[in-house]
Structure 1
Amino acid sequence: MTRPPAADAPSSSPNDRRPWRARLPRWARRLALGLLALYALYLLAGNVFLNSPLGAKAVNRQPQKFHMQWQRGLTWWPGRVVLWEVVVGGQVRRNQWQAQGARVSGHIGLLPLLQRRLRVTDVDAEAVRAQVTQVEHEIPPPTYRPGGWRLEFPSIHSDSVLGGSWGDLRVAGRGSAQVGFTKQLRGGPMQLLPSQADLHGAQVVLKGLELLHAANLKAGFSIEPHRSTQAKGAEKLDLTRISLSVDGSTAGLALRQQEDGRVQVRLEPGAGRAHGQLAFAEGALRPGGALQWQMPVRIIDMQGREHRNTLDAQLSVDQDLHLRARLPAQTDGVLSADVDVSLAGRQVIVPAVRLLVPRLSGRVAGRWQFSSLRWLTRLFVDAPWLSLRGAGEVEGDLRLDHGVLMPGSRMAAPRVEAVAELIGSRVEGAASAEAVLKEVKGVARSHLEVRMQRFAIAPLDAPKSRFVEGNDLQLSLDGPADLVRMREDAQARARFRNARVPDLRAYNRYLPNAHLRFEGGRGVLSGDLQLDAAGRIGRGRVDLRGEAARVRAAGIALTGDVDLALKLQRADLKRNRLDMAGSRLGLRNVSFQDGQGSRSGWWAQLDLAKASLGWNQRLDVQGSAQARMKNVAFVLDLFSQQKDYPKWIFNLIDAGQAQVTTQVDWQGQTLLLRDIRARNERFELDGQFRMQGQRQYGDLYASWGVLGMAVELRDAQRKFHVLGARRWYDAQPRLRP
Structure 2
Amino acid sequence: MPTPPPTPPPASRRLGRWRRPLLWGLGVFLVLEVLLNGLLATGLLERLINHSSRSLKVEWGRAWSVWPDSIQVRALKIRNEEAGGGYWVLAMESAELDLSPLALFRLKVRAEQVNVAGLSFQLHPGDPAARGPDGPGEPPPWELQLKGVQVHGVRELVVGPLRLTGVTDATGELALVPGHRLTVSGARARLGEGELTHQGNVLAHVEGGTADCDIDAKRDAQGRLDVVSGLGGRLQVKTTLPSLTRLQRWVPQIAEAELEGGAGRLEADVRLKEGRFAPDSRLEGSGKPILVPLGLVRVRAPWRLHGEVRAKEDGPSRAGLRLVLSPVKVEGKNGQLLETSEVTVSVEAPAPRLGEPPRDVHAALHVAASNPLDLRVLNDWLAPAIQVDSGQARLVAMSQADAAKGRGKASLELSTDDIRARWGGTRLGARLVLDVDARKLALRRDTVTFAGSRLLLRNASVQKGDKPQVHGWEGTLAFPEATLTLSPAVLSGRFAGSFTNAAPFVALLTDKTGLPQVLSPLLEAKDLELSGTVSLGSSGVKVEKIHVQGEGLELRGKVELSGPSTQAVMLVKVRRLPLGVEVTPERVHLQLLQPSAWYEQKLGERVD
Tell me, yes or no, whether TM beats 0.5. Answer: yes
* CA pair 144-220 structure 1, distance change in 2 beyond 3 A: farther
The equivalent residue for 1:494 is 530
Query: Amino acid of the residue matched to residue 181 of structure 2?
Result: P
The equivalent residue for 1:35 is 25
- Report SS of the residue matched to 2:48: helix
Q: Deviations along 1:107-142, whole A, 9 cap, x unmatched? A: 333555565544333222112123345799x99547
Task: Tell whether 2:269 aligns with 1:277.
Answer: yes
1:2-401 to 2 correspondence within 5 Å?
A: 11=8, 18=11, 22-24=13-15, 26=17, 28-61=18-51, 65-93=55-83, 94-110=85-101, 112=103, 116-133=107-124, 141=133, 143-145=135-137, 148-149=140-141, 150-185=143-178, 187-227=179-219, 229-230=221-222, 237-253=228-244, 262-264=256-258, 270=263, 272-282=264-274, 284-299=276-291, 301=293, 309-319=301-311, 320-328=318-326, 329-332=328-331, 338-341=343-346, 343=348, 346-349=350-353, 355-357=359-361, 360=362, 362-365=364-367, 397-400=397-400
1:227, CA displacement in angstroms? 0.3
Query: Amino acid of the residue matched to residue 412 of structure 1?
Result: V
Task: Tell whether 2:496 aligns with 1:475.
Answer: yes
* CA pair 70-397 structure 1, distance change in 2 beyond 3 A: same
Question: 2:56·2:80 contact (CA, 8 Å) conserved in 1?
Answer: yes
Query: Amino acid of the residue matched to residue 329 of structure 2?
Result: Q
CA distance in 1, matches of 2:493, 2:37: 86
CA distance in 2, matches of 1:290, 1:436: 39
Question: 2:205·2:239 contact (CA, 8 Å) conserved in 1?
Answer: yes
Q: Which is worse superposed, 46-55 or 123-132?
A: 46-55
* CA pair 565-437 structure 1, distance change in 2 beyond 3 A: closer
- Report SS of the residue matched to 1:301: strand
1:436, CA displacement in angstroms? 6.6
- Report SS of the residue matched to 1:144: coil
* CA pair 603-324 structure 1, distance change in 2 beyond 3 A: closer
1:39, CA displacement in angstroms? 0.8
1:485-524 to 2 correspondence within 5 Å?
A: 494-495=530-531
CA distance in 2, matches of 1:321, 1:452: 34
1:266, CA displacement in angstroms? 7.7
1:560-575 to 2 correspondence within 5 Å?
A: 565=573
CA distance in 1, matches of 2:483, 2:267: 50
CA distance in 1, matches of 2:259, 2:291: 10
RMSD over aligned CA atoms reads: 5.4
1:204, CA displacement in angstroms? 1.0
CA distance in 2, matches of 1:39, 1:130: 36
Query: Amino acid of the residue matched to residue 151 of structure 1?
Result: L
Question: 2:453·2:480 contact (CA, 8 Å) conserved in 1?
Answer: no
1:305, CA displacement in angstroms? 8.6
* CA pair 192-166 structure 1, distance change in 2 beyond 3 A: same
Q: Which has the higher contact order (CA 8 A, sep 6+)?
A: 2
**Unmatched 5+ stretches in structure 2:** 249-253, 312-317, 370-394, 414-434, 457-475, 485-491, 499-527, 536-543, 559-568, 582-590, 597-605
User: Quick one: which of 433, 436, 445 aligns to 1:412?
Assistant: 436
- Report SS of the residue matched to 1:40: helix
* CA pair 603-44 structure 1, distance change in 2 beyond 3 A: closer
Task: Tell whether 2:548 aligns with 1:528.
Answer: yes
1:277, CA displacement in angstroms? 1.0
1:569-588 to 2 correspondence within 5 Å?
A: 583-585=576-578
Task: Tell whether 2:486 aligns with 1:450.
Answer: no
Q: Deviations along 1:391-428, whole A, 9 cap, x unmatched? A: xxxx87341176653597655389x999xxxxxxxxxx
Question: 2:239·2:265 contact (CA, 8 Å) conserved in 1?
Answer: yes
CA distance in 2, matches of 1:24, 1:239: 59
- Report SS of the residue matched to 1:400: strand
1:237, CA displacement in angstroms? 4.2
* CA pair 363-32 structure 1, distance change in 2 beyond 3 A: same
* CA pair 48-274 structure 1, distance change in 2 beyond 3 A: same
- Report SS of the residue matched to 1:263: coil
- Report SS of the residue matched to 2:27: helix
1:448, CA displacement in angstroms? 7.2
Aligned residues, how many?
442
Query: Amino acid of the residue matched to residue 325 of structure 1?
Result: L
Please report the TM-score for the alignment, with normalisation by the length of structure 1.
0.48
Q: Deviations along 1:295-320, whole A, 9 cap, x unmatched? A: 33453626699876432211123334
Question: 1:239·1:282 contact (CA, 8 Å) conserved in 2?
Answer: yes
User: Quick one: which of 428, 435, 439 aligns to 2:453?
Assistant: 435
Question: 1:497·1:527 contact (CA, 8 Å) conserved in 2?
Answer: no
Please report the TM-score for the alignment, with normalisation by the length of structure 2.
0.57
Q: Percent identity?
A: 15
Question: 1:323·1:339 contact (CA, 8 Å) conserved in 2?
Answer: no
1:34, CA displacement in angstroms? 0.7
Q: Which is worse superposed, 38-47 or 348-357?
A: 348-357
1:30, CA displacement in angstroms? 1.1
